[in-house]
Every structure is written in structure tokens, then in C-alpha cells.
Amino acid sequence: MLRITAGEHRGRKLKVPRVSATRPLTERAREGVMSHLQGIILDAVVWDLYAGSGILGLEALSRGAAEVIALEWSHKAVAQLRENVASLGVEGQIQVRRADVLTFPKTWKQDPRPDILFFDPPYADFTQGGAQRERVWSVFCETARRLNDHGCAVIHTPRGELTADEVAELPGLVQRDYSNASIWWWHPPS
């Protein structure tokens, strides 16, 4: 079980889907992310890609975000995410889509540009390297560049996993470590 840490739904518990690739951020890490976003979260459009349980998007809604578009590929995770959305009564504020994040750039023109992007791919997409890692990183960079001015893109990786070349693709990318995970955030240049 996960707990929403602040806002309208503070203290509410959410279930985690029983999917091996899903590893939600710790409560401490989520609080750190949300603290960083506090100046832009009110009325924000949020894209939660690789949504899993939906905890990041739902936490953002609890703290005042206007709308969330949540993408997840796993049938089990989508079912659990929809159950979590229903338990909070926020169906009108979140679109849950079963979709492959890596093909999302082909369809996003119909969606409002995000103020906040959460991108949380399976760790294996990074640790196994190769073409899959390159593709995931490329989609993250492409999606981050869609942010509205003053927005923020957040990616969750295994601790310290990004290479210097990857970091250089988004100048200003900042790393914070939480146990065995790294949270990286990027703001578009003003």
C-alpha cells in the first residue's frame, strides 16, 4: 500500500499492482519531488508516463493539479490504477490509457502540453542498456521538450544510472539520490 502524503487526499492509501516492473518511489522521494514542484503544481497539466499505481499523478492531483494523463502498458497495472482513481473519486480529472509510452509521441498532438512530466520506466530499460535504453532516453528527452514554459520533467532511474552523454542532452538536468534510486529533474531553459 502507498499513502498520499499531502493535499486533499492526504493519508489515503492506494494499492500497488502486482507487476514485477512496478517499483513505486518511496514516500520520502515522492515528498522531495512534490516539494520541488510546489511552485508549479497548482492547476498543472501532468503527464504520468509508465504510471504503474498512479501514485505520482494522484499525488499531484491531491496537491492541486488540474488534470493528469496517465499511460501504462500492463493490463494489471491499468486495472489497479483505475481502481485507485475510483477510490479517490477523481475520474473527471485523470485519463487512464493503456498505451505503449514509446509510441506516445505519435499521438500526443491531441493532448494539452504538460506543465509536469513524470517518466518512470522499468529499471531494466536502463540496466540492460543497448537499443531499448537509447529509445527510452530519446522518448524522455523528446517528451520533456514538449513542456510548457516553467514546467518540469522528472525521471526515476536506478541510482546514478545516467551517463554524462545522456545528461548533456538536457542541460541543467539535476540529480537527487534516494537510497538505490535517482530522481532527475529538468526545467526548460527560460
pLDDT band at 161 (very low <50, low <70, confident <90, very high): very high
More confident residue, 24 or 100: 100
Q: 25-39, 49-63, 130-144: which range is least confident on average?
A: 25-39
CA atoms of 6 and 23, how far apart (whole Å): 21
Q: What integer best gives the mean pLDDT of the chain?
A: 93
Percent above pLDDT 90 for the chain? 77
Is 89's pLDDT higher than 80?
Answer: yes
pLDDT number for residue 20: 61
Is 21's pLDDT higher than 70?
Answer: no
Sign of torsion, CA 92 94 99 102?
Answer: positive
pLDDT number for residue 18: 75
pLDDT number for residue 23: 64
pLDDT number for residue 178: 92
Residue 97's CB is within 10 A of a number of other CB atoms, namely 15
For residues 128 and 161, the answer to whether their CB atoms sit within 8 Å is: no
| Partner residues linked to 68 by β-bridges | 46, 94
Cell of 100: 505503449
Homologous superfamily (CATH) of 2-186 is: Vaccinia Virus protein VP39 (3.40.50.150)
DSSP states of 107-165 as a string?
TGGGSPPPSEEEE---THHHHT-HHHHHHHHHHHHHHHTTPPTT-EEEEEEETT---HH
pLDDT number for residue 26: 83
CA atoms of 65 and 166, how far apart (whole Å): 29
Percent above pLDDT 70 for the chain? 97
CA atoms of 107 and 140, how far apart (whole Å): 15
> DSSP assignment, residue 97?
E
- Torsion, CA 8, CA 33, CA 67, CA 132, rounded to 10: -140
CA atoms of 16 and 23, how far apart (whole Å): 9
Give the list of residues 6+ apart from residue 106 with CB closer than 8 angstroms, or none: none
Q: 1-5, 32-36, 64-68, 110-114: which range is least confident on average?
A: 1-5
pLDDT number for residue 22: 59
Domains of the chain, by residue range, sit at 2-186
For residues 40 and 150, the answer to whether their CB atoms sit within 8 Å is: yes
Is 185's pLDDT higher than 90?
Answer: yes
Among candidates 35, 81, 31, which has minimal Cα distance to 58?
A: 81
| Partner residues linked to 177 by β-bridges | 182
pLDDT number for residue 105: 92
